[in-house]
């Protein structure tokens, strides 16, 4: 029985992954989100946390805080009159430390790994840009983060559980 259950779990997960994330990938540009793949990264962290729906809000809050943190880091680095490698180190040192202190002080609000991951995502996408060039990019990243946690992460998990119950 256990072998059959593993196979059912694997096949229903494969169907969920094959069906739902591609819908987001196709729909994202029509929704004004040019960075749809960010959703897949965020869903990955949600899954790595054990598909815990009770943590979805604080994971999403962590990702959004990381998005804000990326904009703050870009702003700070643009204003500091230091060599770029020194600016980068100091900004990561200070903001990284503060993010951990806030996240770990408010663990019911923020999932610290999501905050740090969201910050890294934001810096990867927006790092080469100047603050004046960011436009709607932080909002696009935030939308993809929310889609990743709730549509891809929670959605695929719920879809799979539904199929398993039916089989």
The total of other beta-carbon atoms located within 10 Å of residue 138's CB is: 18
Is the pTM higher than 0.85? The answer reads: yes
pLDDT digits (tens, 9 = 90+) for 92-146: 999 999 999 999 999 999 999 999 999 999 999 999 999 999 999 999 999 999 9
The total of other beta-carbon atoms located within 10 Å of residue 98's CB is: 12
Q: What's residue 1's pLDDT?
A: 63
Between the alpha carbon of residue 85 and those of residues 8, 43, 92, the distances in Å are 51, 31, 11
DSSP strands (E only) in 8-92: none
109: helix, strand or coil? coil
Which tokens sit at 133?
């060039």
The total of other beta-carbon atoms located within 10 Å of residue 3's CB is: 7
């Amino acid at each position: 029985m256990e072998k059959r259950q593993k196979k059912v779990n694997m096949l229903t997960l494969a169907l969920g992954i094959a069906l739902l994330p591609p819908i987001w990938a196709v729909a994202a540009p029509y929704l004004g989100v040019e960075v749809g793949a960010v959703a897949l990264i965020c869903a990955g962290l949600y899954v790595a946390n054990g598909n815990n729906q009770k943590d979805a809000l604080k994971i999403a809050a962590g990702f959004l805080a990381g998005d804000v943190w990326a904009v703050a880091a870009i702003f700070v680095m643009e204003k500091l009159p230091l060599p770029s490698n020194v600016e980068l180190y100091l900004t990561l040192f200070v903001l990284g430390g503060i993010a951990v202190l806030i996240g770990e002080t408010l663990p019911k609000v923020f999932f610290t790994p999501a905050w740090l991951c969201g910050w890294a995502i934001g810096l990867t996408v927006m790092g080469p840009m100047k603050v004046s060039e960011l436009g709607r990019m932080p909002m696009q990243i935030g939308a993809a983060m929310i889609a990743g946690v709730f549509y891809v992460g929670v959605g695929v998990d719920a879809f799979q559980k539904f199929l398993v119950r039916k089989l």
